Structure 1
Amino acid sequence: MRCAVWLLALVCSATVLASPLTEAKRTLQNGRPEERAEAVRNLIGYKKEKSAASVVLAHLAKETDDKVKEAIWEFLKSLKDEKARKMVVRRIFKYEDADTRAQLLIVAWSYKTPEGEKAVLKGLSDEAWEVRQTAAELIAKAKDEKRSVAFQKEAILKLIKVMPSDENARSRRAMRIALWVLTGQDFGCDRRKWKKWWKKAEPIYGTPDYGKKYKKGPGMTGVILDDDVPTSRKKTPRFFGEEIKKGRVIFVIDVSGSMGLKAESGRVKLEVVREELINAIKAMDKRYKFNIIFYSTGVAKWRPNLQKATKENKKAAIEFIKGRPAAGMTNIHGALKLAMEDAEVKLIILLTDGQPTVGITDKEKILEDVRRWNKYRRIQINTIGLKGEDVDPDFLRRLAEQNKGTSKTVR
């Protein structure tokens, strides 16, 4: 009898040790990234969802690997237990990392619960622009996803309150787009006009009468949603044959020592680039804003911020272009980092004739950092390689593809 009891206890103990939650606890503490990700995914469908969610949320604060985080978001979205979901929502704003808060808002929104929607509304006032932008982008889906009219009204009122005073151009723009999508109206950042209009529109919002009285216009006043500048084939600025359609652009140009050598065409490479760059800038009209970064061992920016393509600014930029010699090594990482710090830029054009040779030179690390920097910025990155022994077309292609851009090699 004693042996039977002992064997039963041993079997039960082994079962407990083999449970997905026990395994996840151990693996999250000591496992490799791929093992941690698998352990989290193994919790999907685990019957004690609240306990599993508690373990995963406790680990989340110290997790740094993107693939493991993807598994965590997948697991949290899979939760069905009401108490587990509420626990996730309650913890959103306890995390210091802005990306974590933003991703948890996406998780909360997927629950389609009042608690999740309230968390998204709270996200509009978060200290981090990435979180505010994410909240606004989620709210913009409310009508298509048939969220309640009561929630839409609450969201519109909150957007009217916070949007005009948001100091970040990206999150403010996301809020303005959300307002336009929900209401069909655009009063810019004028809170007074929004409030005056909403006082009249709110009672009939969500009814057939609203659609009859307030017809949605063709677009937003003063805002081009995709940031493209309307162009014609004859007048569009071009750089090495590629049209520049984004109206906020930074040219990131390699001026390392090798740029002073001759290209396959027989001309000095930097002379060719100067000519192309000057012609592109001359072709810009006042709708464009631009900047220039020259990089070699160090990194030099023409102006602190994007400048309007006025006659005076274009003249000053051309003088800057003509005065830069070719010297030094190739700091691609530093140049991209500086370019992506700009608050307005929508297009970066990177040109090089070589590979990274100073600063961070690991190409995988450069790609990883750019992906991280660009997660919420969504800047298009086009790359141009000057054909030669040193240039790496595959690296430039991957850099462009991962950031919604184009890549080409020129002679």
Structure 2
Amino acid sequence: MDMLKKFVKGKKVDRHFKRTGPGAKLSDGASSSQPSVVSGSMQGSRDEDRVHASDVAAQAALKRMLGNEPTVSSSQKKIQMMAQRELEQERRERESASAKFSDDIKNLRVGETTVHELDHSNAISSVKFTCELLGDEMALPKDQLRSYLESYLRDEMEEEGVVPATLMITSLNQTEQRKIAMETIRKYLQNILENQSEPKFRKIRMSNKAFQDRVFSVKGGREFLEAVGFEEKEETNPEGIKEMYLLMSESAALDDARLIQALELLDGATPLALKVARDTKTFTLKDGEKISSPKLPSDFFNITGEELKKEQERMTVQVDRMTTMRTREMREKDSKQAEYRYKYSLVRVRTADKCLVQGVFSVGETLLAVRQWLHSLLSQPEAQFDMKDAAIGTFKDETKSLAELGLVPAVTLHLDMKQDVNLPILSEEVMREAVPFSIE
């Protein structure tokens, strides 16, 4: 396990020094005579400090939420009034849409399936992921990230050997495949350690069906065996036919320390966790511009095309539930069902200075994660704010998941600053990436 952690940490350090560039000698007189220039890497360091500060600020913000309200200036009141008007307008539009939705559902006939294309169809093409080994800057759709990760680990095989092979087994295969492969490889190594003088335990016939199904078909399986000392060679089998075998020499079999270390590594290995990338986008809004509903990619949903009819029936039931009293237990059950139906949520947050930021979250992440993300985007990361929903208002418990709060599969929130802040509300780095919302 320590070897795995050291490997991942080492790669993170390598990335840091690649961004930093070559060093300079302290005795270099030229450096002392020239004015200092803030490099991109130093700026990156400041960005990391700012993000760290934003995380701390987000944690502290929760503790302050129930504290005394700060004094509100006239300019802040004006911003709050503008935000309140927008919330009221959204609430009225939502009520109108809900009424129309009820009428539409009543007119639906069983067996009909109508797919409506929502506006703003280019909101997001697919959900992207990152992993600790490759760094947050490498954000790709899951299949592409796994493919890149496999290529990266294969490149590392020449130098690191058994560690990247172990990560290939744990991170690039299905759970059951991984489990069977690890059990089989573990048995191979244990047999060698317990019978070091027996050649038969150091020989694996590559055409053997059990080996093909359990190890060879698993990514990283053969690579792991080669990393611990097995070599591919041709030998004549008992029937006199030449076949390919994986063979371990007697000297390699007597290397107890190496084999035991490989076993411990295999036993302690866990998959590299893939995290949902925020894929942050920033938009500028026109006066009075309405934020249209996004068309979400299929990645967001657990349901398939064949389940559209069932979804239609569910919508009918949902309208009925909206018009009846619901107990707390019933509402919690509904939120759990929503969590099963949706995997991700597209969160949009509107600011008072006519900007919109967009990020992707897992439905199991808490609203606090959204707060931390927002802190990292502000020009003043320590600034206090509330997140408001047109229907719910201010959220009382930010430790609940987005699914529990019903903020799936997409939601638009309003950022309500609790104090005067310098404009723009979002940082310069974030605003540099902004594009007009209407052209997306």
Please give the TM-score of this superposition, normalised by the length of structure 2: 0.22
Structure with the largest fraction of strand:
2
Greater C-alpha radius of gyration? 2
Choose between structure 1 and 2 for higher RCO, CA contacts under 8 A separated by at least 6 residues: 2
Please give the TM-score of this superposition, normalised by the length of structure 1: 0.23
